[in-house]
Amino acid sequence: MTQALSVGITALGTYVPSKVVTNHDLAQLVETSDEWIVTRTGIRERHFSAEDEFASHMAIHATENMIAKHGSAVLDGVDLVILATSTPDALLPATAAIVQNHFKLKAGAFDVIAACPGWMYALSAAAAYVKSGMAKKVLTIGSDALSKILNWEDRGTLVLFGDGACAAIVEAVPEGYGFKSFVLGADGEGAKHLNMRCINTTLPDGSPLTEKVSMNGREVFKFAVRVMSSATREAVAQAGMRLEEIAYFVPHQANFRIIDAARSSLELPLDKVVSNVERYGNTSAASVGIAMREALDDGRIKDGDDLLLVSFGAGLSWASSVLRWHVKTF
Ligand code: UT7
């Protein structure tokens, strides 16, 4: 899918729960060590939501953070809420509708389930709604509380994930800014490598679905390294650009080894890579947004910078995009 859209992100906020869980804390629960986790993943700590804190609460906090950063006018005229999550508060209603109600928005609201790249899928949908004229201003959220669905006895998954949320406004931007390409991909053959049951107990091929997240880490690792670099190249080519023109590579924060392998195969210098996996672990649909916000806050990302966003996850699925950053004053 190629689109030269004058639609982009004009505001961004994030949230992580206050509870910090270190590798040492997890080593009290399962047979693991800080050394193993740091060496294999680059993760040192992550944030876990409180028992009574769910995706909707985190989404609302991320939206409040966006208001604090950009001003209260930021929500004026929002006519659609799209919320990406793999951990919705409920199957019905959509978590997006809970957010809509909290802020009393005169807007439609729906959820997107597309695992870790969910927020990027949501951004692509938001951009398409705005481009088509069906919506003017879309509150586009990624919120995941993976800690709620992890198997606390499985060291292979427990150490990887954290909770968090990001909230963005997607709307028209001046010509030349905004999303320059979107690449969306899925390969359902890989469903067996990363999944969790909901209503059914098996996949169509009879593979069992488990009560909590289960993953074949090695298979996902190989897929991730391959797709992070291929999807990056594709998004850059669709934007009619060269890799060297990308100011910052903002990848899904799953594992620093995956990020670094992709960086190396793309021959990108380390200082162009935004990574904070060390402090948050894999926050699923929120991870690209949280990384991007951090690079905005520390002054790395500036008006006019071309960013490459890329994510992957269960499905197996992936998404990438080139976004020219636009600073808007509300
Ligand atoms: O959004 C997408 C989410 N998923 C991912 O991004 C996951 C991608 N995969 C990975 O990041 C890596 O495959 C892992 C970090 C999950 C595992 O790293 P690895 O280098 O691929 O290790 P491995 O699975 O090959 O396991 C090596 C050993 C095994 O022991 P044996 O069989 O060699 O005796 C594991 O049982 O490490 C063991 N192991 C652990 N040891 C200590 C697995 N998890 C742990 C642990 N602590 N937490």
Rounded to the nearest whole angstrom, what is the distance from the C-alpha of residue 217 to the centroid of ligand 1?
6
Q: Whose CA is nearest to atom 38 of ligand 1?
A: 156
Side chain identity at residue 207, one-letter code: S
Site residues for ligand 1, CB cut-off 6 Å: 32, 36-37, 40-41, 116, 155-156, 159, 215, 217-218, 220-221, 224, 254-255, 282, 313
Rounded to the nearest whole angstrom, what is the distance from the C-alpha of residue 216 to the centroid of ligand 1?
9
Instruction: Give the pLDDT score at 173.
Output: 97
Buried b / exposed e across 195-214, counting CB within 10 Å, b at 16+? Answer: bbeeeeeeeeeeeebeeebb
**216-267 residue pLDDT tens:** 999 999 999 999 999 999 999 999 999 999 999 999 999 999 999 999 999 9
From its phi and psi, is residue 105 left (phi > 0), alpha (psi between -120 and 50) or beta? beta
Q: Does 210 lie in the same domain as 156?
A: no
**82-104 residue pLDDT tens:** 999 999 999 999 999 999 999 99
Q: Does 32 lie in the same domain as 153?
A: yes
Could you please report the per-residue DSSP string of 277-323? HHHH-B-GGGHHHHHHHHHHHTT-S-TT-EEEEEEEETTTEEEEEEE
Instruction: Give the pLDDT score at 308.
Output: 98
Rounded to the nearest whole angstrom, what is the distance from the C-alpha of residue 135 to the centroid of ligand 1?
43
- Indicate whether 4 pLDDT > 60: no
Rounded to the nearest whole angstrom, what is the distance from the C-alpha of residue 43 to the centroid of ligand 1?
13
Q: Does 190 lie in the same domain as 266?
A: yes
- Which residue of 187, 218, 222 sits with most ligand 1 atoms within 8 Å of its CB, as the best mutation to test the pocket? 218
| Radius of gyration for the alpha carbons in the chain, expressed in angstroms and rounded | 18
Q: Whose CA is nearest to atom 2 of ligand 1?
A: 313
Classify residue 154 by burial, with Cβ atoms within 10 Å: 0-12, 13-18, 19+.
middle
Q: Whose CA is nearest to atom 47 of ligand 1?
A: 32
Q: Whose CA is nearest to atom 16 of ligand 1?
A: 217
Q: Does 218 lie in the same domain as 298?
A: yes
Q: Whose CA is nearest to atom 48 of ligand 1?
A: 155
Q: What is the pLDDT of the chain when averaged over all its residues?
A: 96
Query: Residue 234's CB: how many other CB atoms inside 10 A?
Result: 18
Instruction: Give the pLDDT score at 5.
Output: 64
Rounded to the nearest whole angstrom, what is the distance from the C-alpha of residue 33 to the centroid of ligand 1?
12
Side chain identity at residue 284, one-letter code: S
Residue 167 Cα distances to 2, 64, 200, angstroms:
24, 9, 31
Residues ≥6 apart with Cβ < 8 Å to 39 = none
Q: Does 92 lie in the same domain as 136?
A: yes
- Indicate whether 3 pLDDT > 70: no
Owner of token pair 């398409």: 128
Query: Residue 221's CB: how many other CB atoms inside 10 A?
Result: 18
Query: Residue 51's CB: how many other CB atoms inside 10 A?
Result: 7
- Indicate whether 37 pLDDT > 90: yes
- Of the chain, the percentage scoring pLDDT greater than 70 comes to 98
Q: At 185, is the pLDDT very low, low, confident or very high (cuts 50, 70, 90)?
A: very high
Q: At 1, is the pLDDT very low, low, confident or very high (cuts 50, 70, 90)?
A: very low
Q: Does 80 lie in the same domain as 17?
A: yes
Q: How many domains does the chain have?
A: 2
Instruction: Give the pLDDT score at 2.
Output: 45
Start-to-end CA distance of the chain, whole Å, equals: 31
Side chain identity at residue 73, one-letter code: A
Tell me if residue 276 is catalytic: no
Q: Does 183 lie in the same domain as 281?
A: yes
Q: Does 139 lie in the same domain as 30?
A: yes
Tell me if residue 116 is catalytic: yes
- The residues that bridge with 324 in the sheet, in sequence order, are 178, 306
Q: Which two tokens stand for residue 38?
A: 């740091």
Owner of token pair 């050394």: 35
From 143, 172, 201, the end of a domain falls on 172
**88-147 residue pLDDT tens:** 999 999 999 999 999 999 999 999 999 999 999 999 999 999 999 999 999 999 999 999
Across 278-295, average pLDDT:
98
Out of 57, 116, 166, 255, which one is annotated catalytic?
116
From 172, 199, 215, the end of a domain falls on 172
Tell me if residue 166 is catalytic: no
Among 229, 311, 232, which Cα is nearest to 277's? 311
